[in-house]
Structure 1
């Protein structure tokens, strides 16, 4: 026993003197021993293993790994955008048809007009927008995401990005939390539990909002379709490319912010972790449907509905209670307009984002409502009408770019913020999760406005 201990101490000293990574050497030795035991006990299909290794040589290579990730992301977004249009339209028509019937019922029972406005034009219409806009993209995106997860591709994404995240002093598993954030930032925050290091878990939580969620996609997609896609034959393709570019910008800012946090508030070095790439598997359709639709889509939609309902009441009150000749919302717009102009937006856009705090998917409906001064959220028949409305209200190329950037970089929604508070148990980190993306967004929009004004 004593001899074995001395031998182990000598071996440890030898590793230290050679300046090698002790942990990597120990893990390597464990895997070597495990492989020897496995070879004695388990029969392997050598041909299948070699085929998977050849596939990994391409998917995890420096030359093809990155471009392949971007291509798969663009295809996923294109399928989501294209596939969600028709069901979203059908759900909206059905829900607004129900709204008409509810309105007739309220008239039949001689309900006071303000109660009808509060409950139907406020709460119900807000929920109708959230469900019709949010459910179809999630019902497409989450199954595709779960399919890639079940297939065994997502760990390869983590492997490809691990080196870059280590350079940013963050954890490689943060890639997976970012991927989950594409569906919903609240779900992305919860998935940060897979990171063992408390410091790196906090970094992942604080930076997850840089990845656009399913609630922000409608705004990004609509603006892309209006100002880019509408000039081309296949606008969904170009819209998906612009949204992909926005996501890439979000990833870059995630890396930069992670590095800054690791050098300031959350000092430390990236912890090592051993990532064993699982074999490629045949996806289980039943599991994919249950996990994506019940476990993720319905769960996230339920949270969004819970926070959007009271928001409908607030929005209706702000746009229907008048002080003098103007409603409260317009007074607020006039107050924030100078600041909004300084960052390349206008007061209406800024207030739409603020009122959209409970659920990001209602930002565009609120903006339409404010521009038309109707006091209730409106629906346009086609994208050309929306473009005309925006241009008539002074939108320029700068407004389009900065609104896209601010949509990407503004504060988290109420659901995500609530989740951050629950996961961190801290008001401090919850406030920081609001300040970090918002200050970043304001700064970038301000710089972009200054550059644009100089060039023009």
Structure 2
């Protein structure tokens, strides 16, 4: 779980140390509830824009840190809850003990460590990312630039998804951005900006004030911000993580379950939060 804070794919690989196949599967399925470094920029930006403000100050920095910590703790609690649920349902079994044996100490070979780290890990993970990112980049460009009638394919898709997304406290643009952001969570916000501005290329804002103004102009409220944060925390794994899950489990079934579990829970949580806010008259 802790390795997942850096990268969920690395967290999945780290599950190899768990001897029990049942508990290894539980750890793999629930690893995505921990926010990786691709989701932290989105969470921090939304917290800063909608709940803390962009003006500097020690009090605001502390509040921002507390809110981000709360989001992380929510992910950890969900990890424990879903793990317990899985162990009581589709992955029943007898809990096993965990024993970590330390190998004999050997003087590290610096050169060998560097070479193996680069070849066996860094390049391997980057290769997987590129294998999905390249066609995904082409797909995003096609969606944004190929027009059907007066609108781009992206605009048609966001319009189609909008009614369902509204039930989750989002809008069609946000939900479509998460779908197109499947290769990497880092591009979700740039896709949202691209869709709102209809630029046809991924765009980024250097000013959070300008970005907030754009989002508010397109209908964002505090509820939209909360639900976007929740969905960013609880949704399907990225492409690299899915490929890693498939390799580690050697099973399409468990890969699909690992994809479906956080997706269903994320949609349910967003729907519940949005419904309660609307019924309470808070928006």
Q: TM-score, normalised by structure 1?
A: 0.56
**How far has the Cα of 1:225 moved from its partner?**
1.8
Counterpart of 1:403 (choices 228, 242, 245) is 228
Structure 1 pair 253/303, CA: closer, same or farther in 2 (3 Å)?
same
> Is the deviation greater in 345-354 or in 308-317?
308-317
Q: How many residues align?
A: 273
Q: Counterpart in 2 of 1:105?
A: none
1:360 and 2:185 aligned: yes
Q: Counterpart in 1 of 2:279?
A: 454
**How far has the Cα of 1:378 moved from its partner?**
1.0
Structure 1 pair 287/213, CA: closer, same or farther in 2 (3 Å)?
farther
Structure 1 pair 288/425, CA: closer, same or farther in 2 (3 Å)?
closer
Alpha-carbon separation, structure 2, partners of 1:231 and 1:295: 42
Counterpart of 1:241 (choices 66, 69, 72) is 66
**How far has the Cα of 1:241 moved from its partner?**
2.9
Q: Counterpart in 2 of 1:218?
A: 41
RMSD: 2.5
- Superposition pairs for residues 105-120 of structure 1, below 5 Å? none
Q: Counterpart in 2 of 1:7?
A: none
Alpha-carbon separation, structure 1, partners of 2:271 and 2:53: 27
**How far has the Cα of 1:180 moved from its partner?**
0.5
1:349 and 2:168 aligned: no
Which ranges of structure 1 fall in alignment gaps of 5 or more residues?
1-177, 279-284
Q: TM-score, normalised by structure 2?
A: 0.89
1:255 and 2:255 aligned: no
1:372 and 2:197 aligned: yes
1:182 and 2:5 aligned: yes
Alpha-carbon separation, structure 2, partners of 1:309 and 1:418: 15
Structure 1 pair 447/286, CA: closer, same or farther in 2 (3 Å)?
farther
Q: Counterpart in 2 of 1:192?
A: 15
Alpha-carbon separation, structure 1, partners of 2:41 and 2:112: 28
**How far has the Cα of 1:268 moved from its partner?**
1.2
> Is the deviation greater in 225-234 or in 253-262?
225-234
Post-superposition CA distance 1:176-228 (Å, at most 9, x none)? xx011110001100010000000000000011000111111121121122123
Would you say the 8 A contact 2:3–2:10 is kept in 1? yes
Alpha-carbon separation, structure 2, partners of 1:377 and 1:274: 48
Alpha-carbon separation, structure 2, partners of 1:401 and 1:419: 30
Would you say the 8 A contact 2:18–2:98 is kept in 1? no
Alpha-carbon separation, structure 1, partners of 2:209 and 2:122: 30
Counterpart of 2:256 (choices 431, 434, 439) is 431
Structure 1 pair 426/223, CA: closer, same or farther in 2 (3 Å)?
same
Structure 1 pair 183/289, CA: closer, same or farther in 2 (3 Å)?
farther
Q: Counterpart in 2 of 1:392?
A: 217
Which ranges of structure 2 fall in alignment gaps of 5 or more residues?
104-109
Aligned residue for 1:214, secondary structure, equals coil
Q: Counterpart in 2 of 1:316?
A: 141
Larger Rg, first or second structure (1 or 2): 1
Structure having the larger proportion of residues in helix: 1
Post-superposition CA distance 1:5-35 (Å, at most 9, x none)? xxxxxxxxxxxxxxxxxxxxxxxxxxxxxxx
**How far has the Cα of 1:249 moved from its partner?**
0.5
Structure number with higher relative contact order (C-alpha < 8 Å, ≥ 6 residues apart)? 2
- Superposition pairs for residues 11-410 of structure 1, below 5 Å? 178-230=1-53, 233-234=56-57, 237-274=62-99, 300-410=125-235
Q: Counterpart in 1 of 2:106?
A: none
**How far has the Cα of 1:277 moved from its partner?**
9.8
1:420 and 2:217 aligned: no
Aligned residue for 1:228, secondary structure, equals helix
